[in-house]
């Protein structure tokens, strides 16, 4: 397993809620990433975000690992919950909150904290803005 894939896997497994997105919560570069972020915010999730744009290999390795072809991708408790459509749907039905409570247990602080981590991508940042 590549070092980058290992780092991605570690992030998914160690962070309660991970959002792989295009951009950051402060600077969202894609409507779908924004929709996923808003859905997570709506249930008060503590979100750890990873920007996939700095290095195209992040997206390749992530998709190979998750068997999910598109960005964004949301993981709760180490499990893929889905992309923007699923996360938005689950937020509306209340299931996202349930998943969150189940994964975080009493530790669910509802702190709405947002944290950006990097999994690699020391290459020259390149941003494609459609």
Partner 1 sequence: MSARLEELLRHAFPDATELSVSDRTGGGDHFQVTVAAPRFRDLSLVDQHRLVYDALAKPLADGTIHELRIKTRGER
80 binds partner 1 (CB under 8 A): yes
Residues 36-75 that bind partner 1 (CB under 8 A): 67-70
- Nearest approach, Cβ of residue 95 and partner 1 (Å): 9
Question: Residue 33, interface with partner 1 (CB under 8 A)?
Answer: no
The token pair at 126 is 């390149």
| # chain residues binding partner 1, by CB under 8 A | 16
Structure tokens at 122: 């020391």
Q: Which is nearer to partner 1, 50 or 84 (CB)?
A: 84
According to DSSP, residue 125 is labeled: P
Handedness of CA 42, 37, 40, 49 (dihedral sign): negative
Q: In what order do the strands lie in the sheet containing 114-117?
A: 79-82, 73-76, 17-21, 47-51, 114-117
* CB-nearer residue toward partner 1: 69 or 107: 69
Return residues touching partner 1 (CB under 8 A).
31-32, 67-70, 80-86, 89-90, 130
């Amino acid at each position: 397993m590549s070092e980058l894939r290992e780092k991605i896997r570690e992030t998914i497994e160690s962070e309660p809620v991970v959002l792989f997105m295009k951009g950051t919560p402060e600077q969202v570069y894609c409507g779908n990433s924004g929709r996923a972020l808003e859905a997570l915010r709506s249930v008060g999730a503590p979100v750890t975000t990873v920007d996939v744009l700095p290095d195209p290999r992040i997206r390749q390795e992530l998709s190979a690992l998750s068997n999910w072809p598109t960005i964004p991708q949301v993981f709760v408790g180490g499990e893929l919950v889905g992309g923007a459509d699923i996360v938005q749907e689950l937020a509306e039905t209340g299931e996202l909150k349930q998943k969150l409570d189940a994964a975080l247990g009493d530790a669910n602080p509802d702190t709405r904290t947002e944290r950006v981590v990097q999994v690699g991508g020391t290459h020259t940042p390149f941003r494609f803005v459609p």
